[in-house]
Amino acid sequence: MTAPSAAIYGWRKPDLDAENAAFFRDAAPWGFILFAEACKSRAQVRRLVEALWETVGREALVFIDQEGGRVARLKPPEWPVFPPAARYGELYRRDAAAGLEACRLGHRLIAHELAALGIRADCAPVLDLPAEGADPIIGDRAFGTEPAAIAALGRAALDGMADGGVAGVIKHIPGHGRADADSHLALPRVVAGAQALALDVACFKALADAPMAMTAHVLYEAWDAAEPATTSATVISRIIRGEIGFDGLLMTDDLGMKALTGSWAEKAQRSFAAGCDMALHCSGDLAEMQALAAAIPPLSGAALARAQRGDAAAAKTPAPLDAAEAWARLRTLLAPVTPVA
């Protein structure tokens, strides 16, 4: 079988049309990522996932952003509401053991929903360390403001998803919490020095064995004054692969975000040249995907090996779960913080 291309393409419609199916068949992406517009019901999403698999002739990894809180592509009333990361952090500050149990259980329940749909990878947890005065894009998506708490709760989240047969993607490496802008809209700059950035690094270093990570489209002046992390060979080699020690699959954040400039081909080429393994494109726009596909190489070498480890991490059989009992326990744990819907 030909190696898949080093791309993850987004999909935003409930059904897959023939034109896009033909593109996916030719482009042979390694994976797909679904957004809220594509997720209407459990039966419909399962059919969509199977249709995507058919285009590439294999059970390709299907990703989603299901963090809980305001970042949730699976929405009520079809799916339950999951707490934002900050709620686990609040409980952890009061009772560390209860916070860890709740976080693991909450992410186990997310995995329970995802695995039933054929979605075996979640772009979570967020390991960013928020800083005072930064853009609010991270906000309650973060577990807290202490590196040790973020690392502990991030580990609980990864473990909970893994128990449910879903691989996590830590983000936004090496840290988006100090960013002065929303990278969807502009290129954020971080002016903090090495001593402060060491705190951001610590959150990711503690989970360097995660199977996958997503880059931050953020420029860190102390590390590389010219390029954001996604396109910085210095940041990827010296900080992400070096200081943090991450050797899993490194995917870009969405190449369509306005933090990055240039054509689709240029953005992809700069990302791969810097050391990213995988290009992520989220709009689902066919013309954009076609332009990007021309610059996407087949997976090979270290990137292929990392992708294979990512596939393996998502192929585990879920442990048994009594979902009703798990929800009851989660609500009990979180009752002193905020009720869970």
User: Within 10 Å of residue 185's Cβ, how many Cβ atoms?
Assistant: 12
The residues pairing with 63 across neighbouring beta strands, listed in sequence order, are 33, 121
**Where do the H-state alpha helices sit in 213-300?**
233-234, 264-274, 286-293
Q: What is the distance between the alpha carbons of residues 335 and 310, in angstroms, rounded to a whole number?
A: 35
**Looking only at Cα atoms, what is the longest distance across the chain?**
53
The residues, ordered by sequence, that sit 6+ positions from 129 with a Cβ below 8 Å of its Cβ are 142, 145, 147, 150, 175, 177, 178, 199, 200, 203
Strands 121-122 and 61-64 turn out to be parallel
- Reading phi first (left if > 0) and then psi (alpha if -120 to 50, else beta), residue 337 is in alpha
Q: Which residue in this structure is represented by tokens 């991030």? A: 154
Q: In terms of Cα–Cα distance, which of 231, 310, 219, 313 is closest to 275?
A: 231
The three-class DSSP label of residue 108 is helix
Q: What is the distance between the alpha carbons of residues 135 and 258, in angstroms, rounded to a whole number?
A: 15
Among the listed residues 15, 26, 95, 184, the single catalytic one is: 184
Task: Give residue 207's identity as a one-letter amino acid code.
Answer: L
SS (H, E, C) 128-159: CCCCCCCCCCCHHHCCCCCHHHHHHHHHHHHH
Catalytic, 253? Answer yes
Among the listed residues 122, 224, 253, 311, the single catalytic one is: 253
Catalytic, 182? Answer no
The alpha-carbon radius of gyration of the chain (Å, integer) is 19
Catalytic residues: 184, 253
